[in-house]
Amino acid sequence: MGTGTGGDDSLYPIAVLIDELRNEDVQLRLNSIKKLSTIALALGVERTRTELLPFLTDTIYDEDEVLLALAEQLGSFTVLVGGPEFVHCLLPPLESLATVEETVVRDKAVESLRKISQEHSPVDLEVHFVPLVKRLASGDWFTSRTSACGLFGVCYPRVSSTVKAEIRQHFRTLCSDDTPMVRRAASSKLGEFAKVLELDYVKSDIIPLFTALASDEQDSVRLLAVEAGVSIAALLPQEDLEDLVMPTLRQAAEDKSWRVRYMVADKFSELQKAVGPEITKNDLVPAFQNLLKDCEAEVRTAAANKVKGEVLPEDSRETIIMTHILPCVKELVSDTNQHVKSALASVIMGLSTILGKDNTVEHLLPLFLVQLKDEYPEVRLNIISNLDCVNEVIGIRQLSQSLLPAIVELAEDAKWRVRLAIIEYMPLLAGQLGVEFFDEKLNSLCMAWLIDHVYAIREAATCNLMKLVEKFGAEWAQNTIVPKVLGMANDSNYLHRMTTLFCINALSEVCGQEITTKHMLPVVLKMSTDQVANVRFNVARCLQKIGPVLDSSALQAEVKPVLEKLATDQDMDVKYFALEAISGMYLFNLPTYIFSETFSFSSILFFFFSFSLSP
Amino acid sequence: VPPAINSTVGLCTTCRPMQVFTKTKSEIYLFFNLVCDPADVISTVEFNQTGEFLATGDKGGRVVIFQREPQGEYNVYSTFQSHEPEFDYLKSLEIEEKINKIRWLPPHNPAHFLLSTNDKTVKLWKVSEKDKRAEGYNLRDEEGRLKDLSTITTLQVPVLRPMDLLVEASPRRVFANAHAYHINSISVNSDCETYLSADDLRINLWHLNITDRSFNIVDLKPENMEDLSEVITVAEFHPHHCHLLAFSSSTGTTRLCDMRARALCDQHAKLFEEAVDPSRRSFFSEIVSSVSDVKFSHSGRYLLTRDYLTVKVWDLNMENKPVETYQVHDYLQTKLCSLYESDCIFDKFECTWNGTDSVIMTGAYNNYFRMFDRASLRDVTLEASREVCKRRAVLQPRRVCVGKKRKETDVSVDSLDFRKKILHTAWHPKENIIAIAASNNLYIFQDRLTPNGHHNMPEIQSAPPK
């Protein structure tokens, strides 16, 4: 217990924490709130209940971040107030937090309330929790009523049938609240509430509410009802869907507001799952066709993402896509909006696995080719990034003739981010196109990136080389890229000379000891006399990096003298990196003069240390 | 014989001054000061949804909120600095702190919320009351002196005690960096979760909880700025339909957009424009037709637009001409040239509906403001001035005459003071209380006050002699 005697030292830290609950500095208050469990533990359960919680209940004037932390803390406070028996003591502070204007705080308070509702006994739930929910549901301000919407679902399954009827009534009332905020909250919790209701009540209560919310005058309410519709459809037996849910969903798919239609398109996969294959085939496919042709680009974009139709019945999937979806897809390929096209490009390749080889060659291939020539780089990139899907079905050769110009164009795009994106797909492309094709057509591109004027591209290009070598092997590297990389060591531009070093960093390990020692090391060592300091210190870093690949005789005979020389360089940075390389490799008997400074430094530290030990 | 006017739904012909607030040196006094600090000039006036609160913004970036007392008088409730002058270093531009618009949010909880904007940044403010204070420290006494640690034997949890009412204004959100041009309007949507902000060329849509992102819904900026032919002057959401918004332009048109149809509202659903009589065209035609304010009626059926010389009422169902047109100061027709030279012709007068949409009010020069009763077609000109308000007597109608004075009280056009102008006015949403901003003065008038200060029951008043 927290009642110590005679200036108890152990009280001090807790006293500070309590005082800082009301410090002027928000950060200190926040820290204190985050350690609320420590305070409660020190006070004991009794004082926590009688003093701390009443204080916290009235502290709702504070900053949002403090209130948020408080709402979160209270969710796991049950033990600190004396266990499930007393858990209802936590309701008043959470109730006041559930009415503040800041949405995140309210949501967190509701989350905590939901959590502690599970710790209430069925009796406590009806005596304490349900009245709180009712109070919130009939509160004056919309903030409390919105919070109530999220609480019905957790108490409903655990209360008596009379209380259940009351809860249903409260929910009904909130669904027709005056303020759109409350109707939105009710609409978004409708699906969740439906899940805990008995099936008969779903049909008699929830369906009328759903229908009403789905035709609300506010767009923002209607669009939330779509999601509820998905949950409700999943609860109902197949034979009831047609009568109870489908008219409303059909209406939503043709809503005047594009935001509602967007929601339908966005939730299309979930919707298909919920209503099952039969309704999907007869009802949703036509609706989907319309969404693909929608006048609003946002809707088309959302719909284009779903063209694969994963949930269609297995047996008729191919025919449905061929006869109903593909014609729309063909139109989308030449859409006026780039986002629509790029959304389509990211999924269209996936269709090939569904449609099989012949259909892909006949119908999809022409579309891929059109998209590969699209004016927007993002569309082309999306096609290229999904090449593997097609590769499995028809092999990439079919595309290679069109692929190459598209790749070359992207590789030389004026925007460096586009160039960067295509570089990242190079290893994948190389793997699928094969080494011959690569050498013939793409190798020169990869080398050209090494002298790009943007560093990020040069960096990505070196990384790309490493991945290519991993794919094609060290021998290929020795014949094709190593000579070119090493050739750059004599370039007049120091940035290009540095690129050689960066490439060696990346390549040494994958190329192996022989190539590294024989071909790369001499070049690196020669560059240690470069006139640009940046090159010289990168030599030091490079040597440290490739050290593990080299054998010890080469290290001792060739690397060591060079590093020692660099360690006496006039340039500070070169010296620094040379020393770091030397110490990092643990290979040398370190000359003492190098460490004289370090020694004096550590003796000072030692002195300090001993000083603080003697009081 | 002029028709009788019902005082609560008709013109405020029996307006009595309720109060006058003069702002000087950031303080509010109830006396008049001849020297006016430019920072004190009121730049916007707005009642909240219930009319219990009235907010004003000024050139100095301050917001003053008045609360109506149970006796009926408005008193200062809270004053805070909403915006500070800033400097945009990238564009080498000074950003004024002047409050361009204030809009109240629908009530959330006991606190009050309002949006205020200067040229670039919109802020959401919370104005709340605090009447409790925590007491009891462990380590310090109430004066803040540290206690002797050895005397601390138990932990003390602070308790809340009542204190004097403290009104606090705290900034809740700052919506910045979305406007390249000057913000002229903000308007809260009826869905209560979004609002729009409009500058000269673009309209952005914001979510009230999200400050780092907004959606551009209207963009008038041409590829080449030399092709620029119009700018947005005002934009407002429909009071009930969340998908409708109206915006007006400098060419005298008002467009209605349906946000359901498309994400971008560059294409309007309706265009309200009156064909100009070619014979009356002049150099000033376009300038005076520029719409300076747009207000939806409370019913949502009509649009009120103000241009330099007139106020017009448009039925949303009729695009080709207004259903009503009222001349505000027709006598200025002949003065346009000198008004152009003094830049007065670019003054942006606002207009407002009364609570039942039956009367329209707008400002004019010489501290005059005009009211038009739509049913009886009667109109009145009143003056907001210190001298008139001293007596707390019923305001006398004013008349401006073009030629010779016909009556003693008539005012000649040539003697009008064009520096004294009433640009900003507001009408209580339910009662006949109006707030008029004239320079650094805020006048609040109420129609027919009974001696105890309460509003009278509707009664028939005869109109003043014409």
Structure confidence at residue B19 (pLDDT): 66
Other Cβ atoms closer than 10 A to A3: 13
Q: Give the neighbor-by-neighbor strand order of the sheet with B293-296.
A: B293-296, B302-306, B310-315, B324-327
Q: How far is B109 from chain A (nearest CA, A)?
A: 5
Q: What percent of chain B has pLDDT over 90?
A: 58
Structure confidence at residue B16 (pLDDT): 61
Q: Which one of A11, A142, A218 has the shortest CB-CB distance to B155?
A: A11
Please give the C-alpha separations between residue B363 and each of B132, B309, B338, in angstroms, as whole numbers.
Answer: 44, 11, 20
Which residues in B lie closer than 8 A to residue A257 (C-beta atoms)? 243, 259-260
pLDDT in tens, A450-474: 888 899 999 999 999 999 998 888 8
Cross-chain Cβ contact B242/A218 below 8 Å: yes
Q: How far is A22 from chain B (nearest CA, A)?
A: 8
Number of domains in chain B: 1
Q: Which one of B149, B192, B209 has the shortest CB-CB distance to A179?
A: B192
Q: Tell me if chain A has a CB within 8 Å of the CB of B190.
A: yes
Q: Is the pTM of this model over 0.90?
A: no
pLDDT in tens, A73-95: 999 999 999 999 999 999 999 99
Compute the average pLDDT of residues A18-35: 89
User: Looking at the domain assignment, is residue B56 inside a domain?
Assistant: yes
The two beta strands, B194-198 and B368-373, are unpaired
Structure confidence at residue A407 (pLDDT): 83
Residue A18 β-bridge partners: none
Which residues in B lie closer than 8 A to residue A223 (C-beta atoms)? none
Cross-chain Cβ contact A52/B157 below 8 Å: yes
Interface test with A, best of B113, B157, B174 (most A CBs within 10 A): B157
- CB-CB contact of B382 with B393 (8 Å): no
Structure confidence at residue A123 (pLDDT): 93
Q: DSSP letter string over A13-40?
A: HHHHHHHHTT-SSHHHHHHHHHTHHHHH
- Contact map slice: B 101-140 vs A, CB within 8 A: 106-111, 113, 126, 128, 130, 132, 134, 137-140
pLDDT in tens, B208-217: 999 999 999 9
pLDDT in tens, B326-379: 999 999 988 999 999 999 999 999 999 999 999 999 999 999 999 999 998 889
pLDDT band of residue A412 (cuts 50, 70, 90) is confident
Which residues in A lie closer than 8 A to residue B259 (C-beta atoms)? 219, 257
Cross-chain Cβ contact B108/A55 below 8 Å: no
pLDDT in tens, A158-214: 999 999 999 999 999 999 999 999 999 999 999 999 999 999 999 999 999 999 999
Chain mean pLDDT for chain A: 86
Residues spanned by the domain of A500: 483-590
User: Looking at the domain assignment, is residue B41 inside a domain?
Assistant: yes
Chain mean pLDDT for chain B: 85
Cross-chain Cβ contact A295/B261 below 8 Å: yes
Compute the average pLDDT of residues B426-451: 83
User: Looking at the domain assignment, is residue B228 inside a domain?
Assistant: no
**The residue type at A559:** V
User: Looking at the domain assignment, is residue A514 inside a domain?
Assistant: yes
Other Cβ atoms closer than 10 A to A573: 14
**The residue type at A68:** L
Which residues in A lie closer than 8 A to residue B132 (C-beta atoms)? 58
**The residue type at B7:** S
User: Looking at the domain assignment, is residue A563 inside a domain?
Assistant: yes
User: Looking at the domain assignment, is residue B312 inside a domain?
Assistant: no
Structure confidence at residue B216 (pLDDT): 95
Q: Which of A248-262, A356-370, B66-80, B393-407 has the lowest mean pLDDT?
A: B393-407
Distance between CA atoms of A574 and A578, rounded to whole angstroms? 6
Which residues in B lie closer than 8 A to residue A184 (C-beta atoms)? 193
Give the three-class secondary structure for A391: helix
User: Looking at the domain assignment, is residue A53 inside a domain?
Assistant: no
Compute the average pLDDT of residues A374-399: 80
Other Cβ atoms closer than 10 A to B409: 10
Distance between CA atoms of A369 and A404, rounded to whole angstroms? 11
User: Looking at the domain assignment, is residue A97 inside a domain?
Assistant: no
pLDDT in tens, B101-126: 999 999 878 889 999 999 999 999 99
Structure confidence at residue B21 (pLDDT): 65
pLDDT band of residue A591 (cuts 50, 70, 90) is very low
Q: Is the pLDDT score of A117 beyond 90? A: yes
pLDDT band of residue B448 (cuts 50, 70, 90) is low
Q: What percent of chain A has pLDDT over 90?
A: 45
Q: Is the pLDDT score of A364 beyond 60? A: yes
CA B329 to chain CA centroid, nearest Å: 21
pLDDT in tens, B352-366: 999 999 999 999 999
Structure confidence at residue A555 (pLDDT): 83
Place of tokens 């060329």: B201
Q: Is the pLDDT score of B392 beyond 70? A: no
Buried-exposed string A188-224: b where 16+ CB fall within 10 A, e elsewhere: bbbbebbbbbeeebbbebbbebbbbbbebebbbbbbb
Structure confidence at residue B15 (pLDDT): 57
Cross-chain Cβ contact B262/A257 below 8 Å: no
Structure confidence at residue B215 (pLDDT): 94
Structure confidence at residue A211 (pLDDT): 95
Q: Which one of A7, A21, A297 has the shortest CB-CB distance to B153?
A: A7
CATH number, domain containing residue A495: 1.25.10.10
Q: Which one of A8, A11, A220 has the shortest CB-CB distance to B191?
A: A220
Cross-chain Cβ contact A141/B107 below 8 Å: yes
User: Looking at the domain assignment, is residue B369 inside a domain?
Assistant: no
Which residues in B lie closer than 8 A to residue A182 (C-beta atoms)? none
User: Looking at the domain assignment, is residue A279 inside a domain?
Assistant: no
Q: Is the pLDDT score of B456 beyond 90? A: no
User: Looking at the domain assignment, is residue A526 inside a domain?
Assistant: yes
Compute the average pLDDT of residues A131-146: 94
Structure confidence at residue A587 (pLDDT): 53
Q: How far is A385 from chain B (nearest CA, A)?
A: 29
Which positions ≥6 away from A321 have C-beta within 8 Å? A307, A309, A312, A351, A354, A355
Nearest residue to A23 via CA among B134, B148, B128, B161: B134
Q: Which one of B159, B190, B263 has the shortest CB-CB distance to A258?
A: B263
Kindly report the backbone phi and psi dihedral angles of residue A120, in degrees, each rounded to the nearest multiple of 5, phi listed first.
-80, 140
User: Looking at the domain assignment, is residue A29 inside a domain?
Assistant: no
Which residues in B lie closer than 8 A to residue A254 (C-beta atoms)? none
User: Looking at the domain assignment, is residue A79 inside a domain?
Assistant: no
How many CB contacts within 8 angstroms connect chain A with chain B?
Answer: 121
Residues spanned by the domain of B152: 17-25+36-118+121-131+142-176
User: Looking at the domain assignment, is residue B168 inside a domain?
Assistant: yes
Does an H or E element contain A563, and which? Answer: helix A560-566
pLDDT in tens, A278-300: 888 888 889 999 999 999 999 99
Structure confidence at residue B455 (pLDDT): 37
User: Looking at the domain assignment, is residue B112 inside a domain?
Assistant: yes
User: Looking at the domain assignment, is residue B91 inside a domain?
Assistant: yes
Q: Tell me if chain A has a CB within 8 Å of the CB of B155.
A: yes
Number of domains in chain A: 1
pLDDT in tens, A597-612: 443 333 333 333 333 3
Which residues in A lie closer than 8 A to residue B109 (C-beta atoms)? 99-101, 141, 143
